[in-house]
């Protein structure tokens, strides 16, 4: 039987920095992998430059950063983008075991399900990485995750609201105010704002409170374990 009419509200979570920690001894695993991927192609990037593309679909982010490095608005060489992207994905896959769930994530999923909420996971990572991380954490064995998607499946990445709209369409939700968009980056907040849904910034990932606050989200929380209690404010 279809689940379309089962859920009352939707919660779309980002992945890295929102549901999983990505810290190693050198700092952010995603940032260090991006930096190394650029370095392998002969480019030097700073941590600050990498933070400007966090939360975005990875090929789009790489292309955007290459434009910054060349100080040009002209199109970057697509082959260079693909090489850096391929190296980045290889580096992430090699270090999947260095990721861990934000403590309490599986319990949040179970609680939301009991509250008649549909959980979605959407990321700028390719779908194969998203699914590998979900398998690694074991979430699918502990709670229902009825929507999993990647911006590689859409013509535009964040801040485009296309994934939010796709999530809503699949669950026959018409009002975007019945949707929470949860993430740790400005790109997440802009995605939610573009969709017209409720935006929730979490401080467990790439961007700090001041950076997220600049996007005027509806809520800022320390991490996702505060999400279930938030619904008391939304009734």
pLDDT of residue 218: 94
pLDDT of residue 62: 85
CA 17 to CA 46: how far, in whole Å?
A: 19
Residues 111 and 78 in one domain: no
pLDDT of residue 58: 78
The CATH number of residue 48's host domain is 1.10.150.240
How distant is the alpha carbon of residue 40 from its chain centre? 25
Query: Within a domain: residue 3?
Result: no
The predicted model gives 190-213 an average pLDDT of: 93
Range in 32-46, 66-80, 87-101, 170-184 the model is least confident about: 66-80
52, 75, 97: which is the final residue of a domain? 97
Residues 187 and 162 in one domain: yes
Query: Within a domain: residue 53?
Result: yes
pTM higher than 0.85? no
Element containing residue 120 per DSSP (H, E): strand 117-123
* Average predicted confidence (pLDDT) for the chain: 84
Residues 42 and 60 in one domain: yes
Tell me how crowded residue 124 is: count the other CB atoms within 10 A of its CB.
27
The predicted model gives 107-112 an average pLDDT of: 93
Tell me how crowded residue 177 is: count the other CB atoms within 10 A of its CB.
12
Residues 62 and 103 in one domain: no
pLDDT of residue 42: 86
Residues 169 and 145 in one domain: yes
Residues 75 and 111 in one domain: no
In terms of residue numbers, what domain contains 217?
9-22+99-234
Q: Which of 175, 182, 173 is nearest to 222 (CA)?
A: 182
43, 77, 97: which is the final residue of a domain? 97
Residues 73 and 133 in one domain: no
Residues 127 and 144 in one domain: yes
Residues 32 and 18 in one domain: no
Parallel, antiparallel, or unpaired: how do β-strands 100-101 and 20-21 relate? antiparallel
Residues 121 and 213 in one domain: yes
In terms of C-beta distances under 8 Å and separation of at least 24 residues, what long-range contacts does 174-182 make, across chains too? 178/8, 178/9, 178/10, 179/9, 179/10, 179/11, 179/12, 180/9, 180/10, 180/11, 180/12, 180/227, 180/230, 181/12, 182/11, 182/12, 182/13, 182/14, 182/18, 182/224, 182/227
pLDDT of residue 76: 62
Number of domains in the chain: 2
The CATH number of residue 107's host domain is 3.40.50.1000
Residues 121 and 225 in one domain: yes
């Amino acid at each position: 039987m279809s689940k379309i009419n089962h859920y009352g509200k939707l919660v779309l979570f980002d992945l890295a920095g929102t549901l999983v920690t990505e810290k190693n001894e050198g700092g952010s695993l995603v940032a260090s992998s991006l930096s190394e991927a650029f370095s392998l192609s002969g480019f030097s990037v700073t941590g600050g430059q990498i933070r400007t593309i966090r939360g975005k679909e990875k090929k789009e982010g790489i292309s955007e950063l290459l434009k910054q490095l060349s100080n040009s608005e002209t199109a970057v060489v697509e082959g260079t983008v693909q090489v850096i992207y391929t190296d980045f994905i290889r580096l992430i896959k090699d270090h999947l075991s260095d990721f861990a769930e934000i403590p309490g994530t599986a319990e949040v999923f179970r609680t939301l399900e009991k509250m008649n909420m549909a959980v979605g996971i959407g990321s700028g990572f390719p779908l194969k990485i998203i699914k590998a991380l979900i398998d690694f954490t074991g979430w699918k064995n502990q709670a229902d995750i009825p929507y999993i998607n990647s911006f590689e499946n859409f013509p535009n990445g964040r801040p485009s609201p296309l994934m939010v709209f796709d999530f809503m369409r699949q669950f026959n939700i018409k009002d975007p105010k019945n949707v929470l968009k949860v993430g740790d980056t400005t790109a997440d907040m802009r995605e939610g704002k573009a969709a017209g849904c409720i935006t929730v910034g979490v401080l467990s990932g790439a961007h700090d409170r001041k950076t997220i606050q600049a996007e005027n989200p509806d809520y800022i929380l320390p991490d996702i374990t505060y999400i279930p209690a938030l619904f008391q404010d939304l009734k």
